[in-house]
Amino acid sequence: MAPARRFAALADPARLTILARLGEEPRCVCELREEFGLASNLLSYHLRILREAGLVSGARHGRRVEYRIEANGLEALKQDLEAITAGDTP
């Protein structure tokens, strides 16, 4: 996964807030929709961007889709930042 894709996923305030909420605990899409008051299609778009960047993952539980932070994605982001501060190109 390219570092630019991970950083681009964080460039939107809504996605940063979603990531922060998921850091507290996994949440169902319906809970996120209520918390943020976003239209379903817009919330799905933001979650897709975060998922494609490897920062969150979703799992279906019956009719519910629960999202959680993807630890490997956050670790990759940390390594990207460390490489940049060391003067390396990630």
Look at strands 56-61 and 27-28 and give their pairing: unpaired
What the block records as the tokens of 34 is: 């209520």
What per-residue confidence (pLDDT) applies to 36? 87
Q: Tokens 């390396």 appear where?
A: 88
User: Where does residue 85 rank: exposed (0-12), middle (13-18), buried (19+ CB within 10 A)?
Assistant: exposed
The domain segmentation of the chain, as residue ranges, is: 3-85
State residue 1's pLDDT score. Answer: 57
Q: In this structure, are residues 59 and 81 in contact, taking their beta carbons and an 8 Å threshold?
A: no
pLDDT at 24: 92
pLDDT reported for residue 4: 86
pLDDT at 74: 87
Q: What is the pTM of this model?
A: 0.87
Q: Name the class of domain 3-85.
A: mainly alpha
20 is written with which tokens? 């922060």
Full pLDDT tens readout for the chain, 90 residues: 588 888 999 999 999 999 999 999 999 999 999 998 889 899 999 999 999 999 999 999 888 999 999 999 889 888 988 888 888 765
What is the pLDDT, as a whole number, of residue 29?
Answer: 92
